[in-house]
Chain A
Amino acid sequence: MEAAESATSAKRMRLTSKSPQDWIFDFIVYLLIGIITILTLYPFLNVLAISFNDSVDTVRGGITIYPREFTLENYKVIFSYSGLITGFKISVLRTLVGTLAGLVSGSMLAYTLARVDFQGRRFISTFLAITMYVSGGLIPGFILIKDLNLINTFAVYILPGLVSAFNIFVIRSFIDGIPYALQESAKLDGANDFTIYWRVILPLCKPALATVALFLAVGQWNSWFDTYLFNGSNEKLTTLQYELMKVLQSTMTNANNVRGENMSQLMAQVSPDSVKMAITIVATVPILIVYPFLQKYFVKGMTLGAVKS
């Protein structure tokens, strides 16, 4: 429809020449769009340029969107810091495990809620919807994790966020759109409800799963507060975002709270600024590689979720 619309407007433009008013209008539109694009992109390009620029040269200032004296030294330095390596590994691991676990549990629950004949459907839907609005808050949540002995474990990254009501409603509204006849014919062939879910429903709701997988993966990769709260003193369970947070905060407030001498020595080797920018890039790039390819899915998923809720 969009294509048709633009085709007709193109035809119109060829038939009737643009009025001066239209020229001014277009000029302002493209000018503003240009400014917005620059405002969005410039900070990233600036950080990227500084991360590849010689640290001594960076201190002179004036780096814009390309490195003046190209070097890989900053990256060599940060990758010699053990906390970053551990952080990277744990972040990748929690992203993989968390996304997979969230997808399986979310789609399974969503399927049962999409079954109109399911007795427990109304109760479970309400039970779940309430959690979107009411939460115990910071401290009761912390005490619960403590009482469950989940502090200083990897499981604390996966378990608390396993079932998300929003994601489940996104998948469910997608399943609602799949013809029910498919399930009925599978049932006539003797398939049980789990087989129907696994063999019929799951393969058909790949677009919804892609959307939810992106939300889950981004959430997992980007979270730092659970590390701060629960595993902050455990060097083996540190995450990349948490390490970045420590490095960024350390010189921002001039109070050196970076654990051990390791990092401050590195910062002395090259400038703190260069270290920060290089870690920022390492923490950002994996997501930037993934999201443009999933764009058509999440745009649909977002629109669907918003319409339903």
Chain B
Amino acid sequence: MKAITVENQTSGGLSKKSQRWKVFKNQRFLYMMSIPFVIWVFIFQYLPLWGWTMAFQNYKPGKGFFSQKWVGFEHFQTLFKDDHFYLVLRNTLAMSFMGLVAGLVFPILFALLLNEVRVQVLKRFVQTVSYLPHFVSWVVAAGIVTKMLSTDGGVVNSVLMGLHLIDQPIQFMSKGHMFWGIVTGADVWKETGWNAIIYLAAISGIGPELYEAARVDGASRLKQIWHITLPGIRPTIIVLLIMSIGHLIGIGFEKQFLLGNHLVSDYSEVLDLYALNYGLSMGRYSFGTAISIFNSVISVILLFVANGMFKKFANESIM
């Protein structure tokens, strides 16, 4: 972003009005090619922000903006007094955090492992297979996860029974305390291969001469990973970690919606689902919007925290 600004200032240095108009006329095609989409973005992305005013009203559909009843922070007070809200917040944070850690560790491990596969055909095959779950929808993935964990014919129960680790099949999908783990596991299964792409790219950028030198020094392959590969991808790891902190709370609700059921709802309900169930389905639009705003505010705070961390890291790496 910074680079763009600088370039723009050098090219648009002439600030005379007539000069600007001339450029505008010269660039009319560029404007024609971009303005419709700017308007589009305004309507579909910015107008909903205006809808935030609903949180401070008793919004009734069909009434005009000025005939709505304004209630101030009433809906937020209701929200913060609601015990259920704290349960939902706990679920959101727990699953976000577990997702963050698993989403960082597993792709790195997988990339390191795949990098040690010297048979190129095999490496390519495994990599292609690893992308596969990323491309299926969460509907399909949730169906598959449920099937694998089911009590009749689910492979997980079969294997555990076969190993005599359990006597009775476990009802995974109806155990509340297992839900966070199941969601995180499903996420790992679906996205590890995909997220490893960037690490693999970073690893392939490490100069082979470093490994040669290490070999001459007699370093084992495990030592090479520890002293060359991992430090080599350290900047990538930090950038991706910071980016995922920025998106921490925006975990969505697809997984929770599709994998959850009424038996585990105390563990599966997240902020967006809460807004969906209590706001939209019950017609409490204003209350639901208040939940969305809370969600967005936390996201923005996290984004600034992440950005601050990024700047600090960027400075350190320059020094």
Residue pair A120, B30 in contact (C-beta under 8 Å)? yes
Q: How far, in Å, is A135 (CB) from chain B's closest CB?
A: 7
Residue of B with least CB distance to A13: B118
A283 to B31, CA, bound (A): 41
Cβ of B261 within 8 Å of any chain A Cβ, yes or no, is yes
- Total contacts A-B at CB 8 Å: 262
State whether A4 touches B148 (Cβ < 8 A).
no
A-chain residues with CB within 8 Å of residue B47 when the two chains form the complex = 136, 144
Judge if B11 is at the interface, Cβ distance under 8 Å. Answer: yes
Q: Is the CB of B198 within 8 A of A302?
A: yes
Give the interface segment out of A72-80, A258-266, A287-295: A287-295
> A120 to B34, Cβ gap below 8 A?
yes
Chain B 208-225 interface 0/1 with A at a Cβ cutoff of 8 Å (1 = within): 100110010000111000
* Nearest A residue (CB) for B41: A163
B305 in the interface (beta carbon within 8 A)? no
Does any Cβ of A come within 8 Å of B105's Cβ?
Answer: no
Task: Assess whether A29 is in contact with B51, with CB atoms less than 8 Å apart.
Answer: no
A36 touches B144 (CB 8 A): no
Contact assessment for B33 and A244 in the assembled complex, using a CB-CB cutoff below 8 Å: no
Flag whether A5 is at the interface (Cβ < 8 A): yes
Please classify how large the interface on chain A is, using the bins under 10, 10 to 19, 20 to 34, 35 or more. 35 or more
Q: Report if A56 contacts B (CB, 8 A).
A: no
Point out the residue from B61, B215, B262 that lies within 8 Å of A253, measured CB to CB.
B262
Q: Using a CB-CB cutoff of 8 Å, which residues 4-40 of chain B contact chain A?
A: 4-5, 7-8, 11-12, 20, 23-24, 27, 29-34, 37-38, 40
From B5, B129, B189, B198, give the contact of A122 (CB < 8 A): B5
Contacts of A1 in B (CB 8 A): 204, 208
B220 and A280 contact, CB distance less than 8 A: no
Contact partner of B137 among A10, A113, A162, A241, CB < 8 A? A241
Known: A6-B120, A118-B27, A140-B52. A291 touches B135 (CB 8 A): yes
By the criterion CB–CB under 8 Å, are B37 and A109 in contact?
Answer: yes
- Grouping DSSP codes into helix (H, G, I), strand (E, B) and loop, the B interface class, with mixed when no group exceeds half, is helix
Which of A26, A126, A139, A148 meets B280, CB within 8 Å? Answer: A139
Q: Please classify how large the interface on chain B is, using the bins under 10, 10 to 19, 20 to 34, 35 or more.
A: 35 or more
Which one, B82-90, B93-101, B175-183, B287-295, is touching chain A? B287-295
B144 near A44 with CB under 8 A, answer yes
Q: Which residues of B contact A129 (CB under 8 A)?
A: 1
B133 partner residues in chain A, CB cutoff 8 A: 40
Q: Which residue of B113, B144, B211 is within 8 Å of A43 (Cβ)? A: B144
Beta-carbon nearest neighbor of A38 in chain B: B129
27 sampled A-B residue pairs with Cβ under 8 A: A1-B204, A3-B120, A30-B117, A36-B130, A40-B129, A62-B153, A108-B33, A108-B37, A111-B33, A112-B30, A118-B27, A120-B31, A120-B34, A124-B38, A133-B300, A134-B296, A137-B291, A139-B275, A141-B51, A143-B48, A162-B44, A163-B41, A252-B261, A280-B143, A280-B144, A284-B140, A288-B135
Tell me, rounded to whole Å, the shortest Cβ–Cβ distance linking A68 to chain B. 12
- Does A70 interact with chain B (Cβ within 8 Å)? no
Q: Verify if B172 is at the interface (C-beta below 8 Å from A).
A: no
Kindly list chain A residues whose C-beta atoms are within 8 Å of the C-beta of B204: 1-2
Q: Which A residues are in CB contact (< 8 Å) with B212? A: 8
Closest to A302 in B: B197
